[in-house]
Each structure stands twice: as C-alpha cells, then as structure tokens.
Amino acid sequence: MSSSPSKKKAEPKAAGRPRAEEVEARTEDLKRTAGRLMLQKGYANVSLEMIAREAHVAVRTIYIKFGGKIGILRALMQDKRDAIFDSIDLERDPRPIREVLDDFATRLYSLLTSPEAVGLQRMLAAEARANPELVDTFFAMGPDVSRGAIAQFLQRPEVRAQLRDDLPFAQLPVLLINTVLGDQLSRVLRDRQEGTPEECALALRQRMEMFYRSVLR
C-alpha cells in the first residue's frame, strides 16, 4: 500500500524587524512611562533601570533613542508643545494682532495649566538647586521658546506699528506670558485653579484686555 505524499509543514515566519508603527507605539509608551514615573517619584528618584523595567525595554534602547533620562524629558516637552502649537505660526499669521495673541494665549494657558505641566513645575521647584541641568532643559524647551516666538511676532513691522513707542520692548514677551499664567502660584503650591473652565476662560480674556490696553496705541 503506497503512502500518500507527505505534506510540508508550514515554516514559522522569521521575526524580522518590527514595523514602523510598532516602533512608534513602543517609543510613545516608553515616554509615557518615563513621564509618569518622574512626576510620581521625582526626577532624581527615577533611574533608567526603573524606566526600562516599567516600559519593558532595555536600558540600551533608552540611550539609543534619547541619550538618557534628560533626553526623554526633552522629548516629552516637545511633544506637548507640538500638540498645542503646530497649527499656529506667529511669524506669518496674517490675522489681526488681537486675534493672533488671543489664540496663542488660549493655547499657552491650556498647555501651562494641564496636570502634567503643573506636576512638572512642582518637580522643578523641588529639584532646581540639586539639578540645574533639569532647569536649563525646562527653560530651553519651554519659556525660552515661547518668549522667542512672541518676540518674533511683536517685531513684525505691521505689528510693531500698533504698539506704543515708549514700551520696554524686551519685557513684552515676559509680560504676555505672565498675563496668560494668571495665579500660577496657587496652581503649583496650593493645587487651586481660578475656577470652572468657563471662569478661567473669562479671567484670561480679562487679563488679555488689560495687556492690550497697556501696550497698544
């Protein structure tokens, strides 16, 4: 009795390289894990080994992708800024000055009053003396970028022509950011917002109106 021809068993597929979307998803999970740990435990109390263990990656992976812990923090702050500001261009935005700055102020307020941002500010306040690199990174990725963008906008000839001549121009970006922030100390130190979302929006509009009255012709 002749045996039937044997069927070939399907060979398992080679593992190969992960797809681009898988790599991106793993990178995002790594950043989220690192951010959560830093906010929960404090920057100095989180090691790369701890992040790697929680994110199920090798420490070497963190070094390759971010160069270390401070690199993850830079990436997290850049992601936050991109999510808020990618669709606004202060250098070329053709809208009237009030419309542009109101839009910018609303976005910046949303960014700076988010739970993650408030947690970051508390962490910075606790660790500033011991870790100046942390503070330098925060300013380089946050306040310095905002101040530079505002200064560029206010230097546009058609915008500058609408500002009072007697202003200390170099102080305007700081003035605008402080106008947007409102009662930042209460948020950071006392965990207290200015009110409901509607009340916060109204308070921001009122502060912006005072800013315009002080700087516009």
Residue 120 inside a domain? The answer is yes
Domain that holds residue 176: 87-215
The residue among 143, 142, 133 whose CA lies nearest residue 68 is: 133
In one-letter notation, the amino acid at residue 123 is M
Number of domains within the chain = 2
If you compute the radius of gyration of the chain from its CA atoms, what whole number of angstroms results?
24
Give the model confidence (pLDDT) of 18-61 as tens digits.
Answer: 688 888 889 999 999 999 999 999 999 999 999 999 999 999 99
Whether residues 65 and 97 share a domain: the answer is no
Whether residues 174 and 127 share a domain: the answer is yes
Residue 7 inside a domain? The answer is no
* Global pTM value: 0.83
Residue 10 inside a domain? The answer is no
- Most confidently modeled of 6-15, 163-172, 187-196? 163-172
Give the model confidence (pLDDT) of 64-107 as tens digits.
Answer: 999 999 999 999 999 999 988 888 999 999 999 999 999 999 99
Tokens 């001549």: give the residue.
165
Whether residues 59 and 113 share a domain: the answer is no
Whether residues 60 and 109 share a domain: the answer is no
